[in-house]
Structure 1
């Protein structure tokens, strides 16, 4: 994922920054508790396409980023 692109992308639901999960190829919104897929290098920032993540999973990403 291009770091410059990651700097400008935000969650369409919460309008907060996203965290790139390289292993799962997802962009994580810890505030909206959603994980947006990346398909063929293209982030799919649609709420309907995102998977819900648990509060624990969101906290783990939040702590990992810090």
Structure 2
């Protein structure tokens, strides 16, 4: 199940307040500026900084490639 577009339009990173990328296949929201993912559990984004996962350079590159390949738009335009 995918997240509601109205919800996606208002989601921002709780740390830097910037847009995120919703990777449905990964069930995460990704912040490429901080190389951080926010897990989606039971269709609910977990937007707590202390529960976020900082990904290594290889994983960040892979997620950025998915965003480019699938032309995924950010949650909002900054």
TM-score interval, smaller chain = 0.7 to 0.9
The residue aligned with 2:23 is 21
Larger radius of gyration: 2
Higher relative contact order (CA 8 A, sep 6+): 2
Q: Can you list the C-alpha shifts for 1:30-63, whole angstroms capped at 9, x where unaligned?
A: 1121100011111101112111123424542553
Q: Is contact 1:20–1:26 with CA below 8 Å preserved after alignment?
A: yes
Unpaired segments of 5 or more residues in structure 1? none
Task: Please give the TM-score of this superposition, normalised by the length of structure 1.
Answer: 0.81
Give the stretch that moved more between structures: 32-41 or 47-56. Answer: 47-56
State yes or no: 1:11 paired with 2:13.
Answer: yes
How many residues are treated as equivalent by the alignment? 66
The residue aligned with 2:43 is 41
Task: Please give the TM-score of this superposition, normalised by the length of structure 2.
Answer: 0.70
Taking only aligned residues, the RMSD between alpha carbons, in angstroms, comes to: 1.8
Residue 58 to residue 13, structure 1, CA distance change in 2 (3 Å): farther
Q: Is contact 1:13–1:32 with CA below 8 Å preserved after alignment?
A: no
